[in-house]
Amino acid sequence: MLEQGAEPHAPKPPPGGGQAGVARLMRRKPVERLVAEGGRGEGGELRRSLGLWQLTMISIGATLGTGIFVVLGEAVPDAGPAVIVSFVVAGLTALFSALSYAELAGTIPVAGSSYSYAYATLGELVAWVCGWCLLLEYGVSVAAVAVGWGQYIDELLHGTLGVALPQALSAPPGDGGLFNVPALVVVLLAMAFLFGGAKESARANTVMVTVKVIALLLFCAVAATGIRAGNYHPFMPLGMAGVSAAGATLFFSYIGFDAASTAGEEAKNPQRDLPRAILLSLVLVTALYCLVAAVAVGATPWRRFEGSEAALSGTLHSVTGQDFWPTLLAFGAVVAIASVVLTVLYGQTRILFAMSRDGLVPAVFSKVHPRSGSPRANTVIVSAFCGTLAAAVPLGRLADATSIGTLFAFALVNVAVIVLRRTRPEMRRAFRVPLSPLFPLVGLGLCLWMMFSLDTVTWAVFGVWMAVGAVVYFGYGMRRSRLTNAPNPALTEE
């Protein structure tokens, strides 16, 4: 149920005693302080310019595109035609977590997303772990999505000019190339849009979202003429294990729904609009994903998807025997993936903005440009990192590593809802998760189930990533934390 925005409450003073040991690591940042600091950065403030429409488009822009245009070719060989069910499973997993996100986004409308929610409920160490997972979720997913952009650039160039990019310059090492130039280019283009500020970036994203929705609807209309009932049999050739494995991979395509929560400090009415934008975008994206997947596997035998990163274009070509429709779809995919890169890159910069303001990462990430009202230095650093990663690392491993980081962060959000309900029951919430704590617990269980569906190599990558994060936190973040070094103990909670 929707209510009016939360009202401030005075923070409760801690019962006593020091910041040493476990108490220091578990110290929480009061919700009131999180909200009061909203928008403040080094040398300036972020500008509140985004309404419900822009926030919804940010979530759709970050979500819609990757799973259909890029990862579908990897998921279908795992599940066969039952990839439709895999999309539903991944969507339901995202939905339960989205409900938790919606409650916390309306209650704690700040830029840090689940990092800030964890800081207010579970303590600094857990918040750092969550933030470190978000770096994997957002930053690495930018690179993963950008890798697939080059595939559709090739399709577009071939269909319009009859040329193709050299393999050495259009694929990373390990995929037959030396350096993925298109992947780097799309990240740099997104960086240029972000320089203009949140409002200008949101306008560009809205145009791109419109283009990619039209492109996907055109795909469904054209490819539906090639549907053969026999392509759906056997529907589940690899059983539920295949459906589960594909669902874990496809969860990567749902990670963008929480992008709106990173815009909490640039939204005009965050308590009202953030929950609505998160849930509305997830419902729309899931419906379109399932529709496109159903048409794709009906028009093309599922075994032909093996090794294809431009699966939808291949489907149109086999159905029509023409280059026009695949070329048109390739244009839509180029725009779609550029939109994902733009909005996810935006989310990453805002999460680092929040972490920097808390002292856990260097202050340069929270420096605000006075003219654009955006963290430009932050944007340059993140873009350079993501662009380099995109140009040098194959897509598949990036996508799986991103999925496990996302699932871990989502699991913490479900826990945070339960904790905040118990520790601050008096807070007015703009949205409440139905049947709490049941739904958050279901969301937590689904996230853990999908995490354990990923392979051991992905877990090894995740383990290394978390180990590096521990070194960074204990070597830098813990010592520089503004919360644990606060001169006034009333500004913190234990």
pLDDT at 428: 83
**CA torsion sign, 260 to 278 to 56 to 224?**
positive
Whole-Å CA distances, 86 to 152, 273, 326 = 24, 30, 25
371 vs 45: CA distance, rounded Å? 10
Give me the helices (H) in 358-455, please: 376-392, 395-423, 438-451
SS3 state at 26: coil
Q: Tokens standing for 404?
A: 């496990």
pLDDT at 453: 76
The pLDDT tens digits along the chain (494 residues) read 444 444 444 444 444 444 456 777 788 888 888 888 877 777 677 878 889 999 999 999 888 876 677 678 788 888 889 999 998 888 888 899 999 999 999 898 888 888 999 999 999 999 999 999 888 777 777 877 787 777 778 778 877 887 877 877 777 666 677 788 888 899 999 999 998 887 888 889 999 999 989 989 999 999 999 899 899 988 998 888 888 888 877 876 787 788 888 888 888 888 889 999 999 999 999 899 999 999 999 998 888 887 666 678 788 888 888 878 888 888 888 888 889 889 889 989 999 999 999 999 999 999 988 877 788 999 999 999 888 888 877 655 556 667 788 888 889 999 999 999 999 998 888 899 999 899 999 999 988 887 887 788 888 888 888 999 999 999 999 889 988 766 554 455 55
Residue-level pLDDT at 9: 47
Q: Which backbone phi and psi does 463 adopt, to 5 degrees?
A: -60, -40
Identity of residue 128: W
**pTM of the full predicted structure?**
0.82
What DSSP element (H or E) covers 99? helix 83-107
Name the helix (H) or strand (E) containing 479: helix 478-480
Q: Which two tokens stand for residue 216?
A: 């996907």
At residue 259, the pLDDT reads: 83
Task: Give the chain's end-to-end CA distance (angstroms, integer).
Answer: 30
DSSP, residue by residue, 254-323: GGGGGGGGGGTTTBSSHHHHHHHHHHHHHHHHHHHHHHHHHHHHHHS-GGGGTT-SSHHHHHHHHHH--S
> Most distant CA pair in the chain: distance in Å?
74
Prior bond to 14 cis, omega within 30? no
Give the pLDDT of residue 379.
Answer: 93
Consecutive H or E run containing 41: strand 40-41
Place of tokens 């977590």: 97
pLDDT of residue 420: 93
How many DSSP H helices and E strands does the chain contain? Answer: 21, 2
